[in-house]
Amino acid sequence: MTSRRNAARYVVGRVTGLVLVLLGVMVCVISAREAALAVGYSGTGGTYTVEECHERYTAAGGSGRHGSRTITCTGTFRADRDSGSGGSSADQGQDQGSGTTDRNSGGRGNPFGTFHPGTVYPPGARVPVQSGDGGTYVAAGWEQAWGDVAGVFVSLPVLAAGAFCLLTGFGARWGRSFGDSWDGLPGGAVLRPLLLSVAGIGILGAAVFLFLQHYG
């Protein structure tokens, strides 16, 4: 009976590790793609003309301006490569101000508010952006990219923790202690310093790039 319980705890710990590894990979891939998009390595560069922006605050157990802030903007995107083709200036002005698509202007409407900048822009503001897949827009420039690069580094401690749980079964309630799991890590002479290095680099890198995002 005891052996079955121990086996079940190891399974739970390894499942926890697998979930953490998958989460880390997902965060890393998404952050890397967003960073590449922000600096222009992927996507389509252009200008997003803001129609309106709204702030929304979410907080556990209530509402108010003390929770997580999300800014949603609607407007029209115009790709740089289409800026000189087709459409009169009147058509273009109507397209940029209405948030709808005009075939002659080359703009693409964004009625679903998939542009989530870090700043509330006034109506009519023209923001340099990169357009990605699915009609999403990211503010162009390194300020946005630094935060995404920080996300890549944040994923490293998550991956290290996931690998540790996956290899040792640590993480189940009433399972092995952290000390016993750490001492029993397979290939510990190599993996222990490796996991510590990966986690440390991730924490340090995230701190550096978050600093650059806010003060660089």
User: Could you write out the DSSP letters of every residue in 140-191?
Assistant: -SHHHHHHHHHHHHHHHHHHHHHHHHHHH-TTSTT---HHHHHHT-TTHHHH
Q: Of 88, 105, 137, which residue constitutes the final position of a domain? A: 137
**Does residue 103 sit in the same domain as residue 183?**
no
**pLDDT (average), residues 131-139:** 78
**Does residue 55 sit in the same domain as residue 133?**
yes
Of 204, 215, 210, whose CA–CA distance to 147 is shortest?
210
Instruction: Assign 109 a pLDDT band (cuts: 50, 70, 90).
Output: very low
Q: What is the pLDDT of residue 87?
A: 39
Continuous segment of H or E residues that includes residue 19:
helix 2-38
Q: What is the pLDDT of residue 88?
A: 37
Q: What is the pLDDT of residue 190?
A: 95
- Write out the residue range of the structural domain in which residue 187 sits: 2-36+144-215
**pLDDT (average), residues 125-134:** 84
**Does residue 114 sit in the same domain as residue 50?**
yes
**Does residue 48 sit in the same domain as residue 27?**
no
**pLDDT (average), residues 147-153:** 94
Instruction: Assign 44 a pLDDT band (cuts: 50, 70, 90).
Output: confident
d(CA 38, CA 138): 6
**Does residue 25 sit in the same domain as residue 69?**
no
Q: Of 98, 115, 137, which residue constitutes the final position of a domain? A: 137
**Does residue 29 sit in the same domain as residue 70?**
no
d(CA 47, CA 80): 7
Q: What is the pLDDT of residue 55?
A: 86
Q: What is the pLDDT of residue 98?
A: 38
**Does residue 108 sit in the same domain as residue 191?**
no
In this structure, which long-range contacts are made by residues 36-39, counting pairs with CB atoms below 8 Å and at least 24 apart in sequence?
Answer: 37/130, 37/132, 37/138, 38/130, 38/138, 38/139, 38/140, 38/141, 38/142, 38/144, 38/145, 38/148, 39/140, 39/141, 39/142, 39/145
**Does residue 149 sit in the same domain as residue 123?**
no
Q: Of 137, 169, 194, which residue constitutes the final position of a domain? A: 137
**Does residue 55 sit in the same domain as residue 78?**
yes
Task: Assess whether pLDDT exceeds 80 at residue 137.
Answer: yes
> What is the tally of structural domains in the chain?
2
**Does residue 92 sit in the same domain as residue 155?**
no
**Does residue 131 sit in the same domain as residue 152?**
no
Write the DSSP symbol of residue 83. Answer: T
d(CA 73, CA 122): 10
pLDDT in tens, 50-105: 988 888 887 654 455 556 778 888 888 888 865 444 433 333 333 443 343 333 33
**Does residue 17 sit in the same domain as residue 84?**
no
Task: Assess whether pLDDT exceeds 80 at residue 148.
Answer: yes
Mean pLDDT value across the chain = 79
Higher-confidence residue of 98 and 125: namely 125
Q: Helices 142-168 and 188-215 meet at what angle, rounded to 10?
A: 160
Return all residues near 144 (Cβ < 8 A) that are at least 6 apart: 34, 38, 118, 138, 213
Ramachandran quadrant class, 43 (left: phi over 0; alpha: psi -120 to 50; beta: rest): left
